[in-house]
């Protein structure tokens, strides 16, 4: 297992989940952490990733870096979503194995599940029917990532674990309108609409200086700002959101996700997940003293008749609770103090109608969430307001 001196590389340590995982590890006394920004290390560059592992040689890796976005971004950048994510995870996982990394945690997404999967979605419903079209490429990349972890474990006796979080929100969330997820996008739209109605142009310009929209910063003309915001459904005291408002969604506070991730990283092994304690002695090599050698497979691996078929070894991470997009908008409106109108454009796609996950495996491994959505929306808006100062 990992001790407090273990070197842990957190890929994506500036992102929503990566930053929360970094902070969680620090709070637990793990100080030997390694991070690189995208400018410092392009994870799609195989040679650069190899050089990084040659230099740092981490004991453990958390792969929280990804190319992400909402429905609009997934529709516009389909090739990027599959190619960028596949490159990143292939490079990091293969170099982790080549450099003898003891433990790897791969972060995916619950969009890996079929569009019409039975609800709540258990891990076993993976690959049982077609995916949601609007995020098919991202889902396929993440499925490939979790299968890489599973396959390396079976062939090489590694200890790579894949966790699939539900929709996440929290500190360091992405509020850029072109490619953000549903909650931060909704929150920013409602906030900007309120500012327009209040005539608070100082705050509007400050907001756009920090997060420009289609290249328009706070220095742009007022009419140009209003025009570009209108493209995203933001008007004077009125916000237009995509879809019908009826899809159900589950949301998890990012710091809860980080706590779950670190819990799994430190306390859960592949043998725990597949529920076969004898896996380690059957599959790994044995040292001269008779103890298990986790650095070497007992054989070629892959097909082990004693264990039968092993699949769906990933872990769902969520709350097991859901609400509609319309109900979410009501929580956002309350948090922002918005007194205007929220409309839904039913000509736009809804995406998957329901995405509730079964979290019984996670609970059986000793972790449950702490932050409820009603409190979390308010906490996110507080963070957003602070980010504008």
Q: Which residue, 331, 338, 333, is CA-closest to 373?
A: 331
Taking the C-alpha atoms of residue 316 and residue 163, their distance in angstroms, rounded to an integer, is 6
Is residue 106 within 8 Å of residue 315, measured between CB atoms? no
Element containing residue 306 per DSSP (H, E)? none
Query: Phi, psi (5° rounding) for residue 230?
Result: -60, -30
Is residue 211 within 8 Å of residue 295, measured between CB atoms? no
Active site residue 138: yes
Helix then strand then coil, % of the chain, to nearest 5: 45, 15, 40
- Structure-block tokens of residue 239: 């916000």
Element containing residue 180 per DSSP (H, E)? none
**Given 9, 30, 138, 152, the catalytic residue:** 138
Taking the C-alpha atoms of residue 104 and residue 261, their distance in angstroms, rounded to an integer, is 11
End-to-end CA distance of the chain: give it in Å, rounded. 42
Output the CA–CA distances (angstroms, integers) from residue 286 to 139, 150, 173, 191, 252, in the order listed: 38, 21, 46, 60, 41
Is residue 317 within 8 Å of residue 165, measured between CB atoms? yes
Residues noted as catalytic: 138
């Amino acid at each position: 297992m990992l001790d407090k001196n273990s070197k842990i590389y957190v890929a994506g340590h500036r992102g929503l989940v990566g930053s929360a995982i970094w902070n969680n590890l620090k709070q637990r006394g793990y100080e030997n952490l390694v991070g690189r920004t995208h400018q410092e290390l392009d994870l799609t560059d195989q040679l650069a990733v190899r050089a990084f592992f040659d230099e740092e040689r981490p004991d453990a890796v958390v792969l929280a870096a990804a190319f992400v976005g909402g429905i609009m971004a997934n529709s516009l950048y389909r090739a990027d979503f599959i190619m960028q994510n596949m490159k990143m995870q292939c490079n990091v996982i293969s170099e982790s194995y080549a450099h003898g990394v003891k433990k790897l945690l791969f972060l995916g997404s619950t969009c890996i599940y079929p569009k019409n999967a039975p609800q709540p979605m258990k891990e076993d419903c993976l690959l049982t029917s077609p995916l949601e079209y609007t995020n098919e490429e991202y889902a396929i990349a993440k499925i490939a990532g979790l299968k890489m972890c599973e396959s390396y474990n079976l062939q090489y006796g590694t200890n790579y674990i894949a966790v699939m979080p539900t929709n996440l929100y929290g500190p360091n969330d992405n509020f850029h309108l072109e490619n953000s997820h549903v909650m931060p996008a909704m929150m920013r739209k409602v906030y900007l609409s309120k500012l327009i109605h209040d005539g608070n142009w100082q705050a509007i310009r400050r907001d756009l200086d920090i997060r420009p929209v289609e290249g328009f910063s706070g220095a742009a003309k007022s009419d140009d700002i209003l025009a570009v915001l209108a493209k995203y459904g933001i008007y004077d005291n009125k916000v237009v959101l995509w879809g019908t408002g009826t899809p159900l969604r589950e949301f998890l506070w990012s710091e809860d996700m980080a706590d779950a991730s670190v819990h799994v990283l430190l306390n859960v092994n592949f043998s725990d997940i597949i529920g076969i304690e004898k896996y380690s002695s059957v599959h790994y090599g044995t040292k001269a003293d008779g103890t298990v050698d986790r650095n070497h497979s007992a054989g070629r691996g892959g097909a082990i008749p004693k264990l039968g078929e092993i699949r769906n070894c990933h872990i769902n991470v969520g709350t097991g609770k859901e609400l509609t997009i319309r109900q979410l908008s009501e929580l956002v409106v309350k948090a922002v103090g918005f007194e205007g109108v929220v409309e839904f454009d039913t000509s736009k796609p809804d995406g998957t109608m329901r995405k509730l996950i079964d979290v019984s495996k996670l609970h059986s491994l000793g972790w449950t969430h702490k932050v409820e959505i009603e409190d979390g929306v308010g906490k996110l808006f507080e963070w957003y307001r602070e980010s504008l100062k």
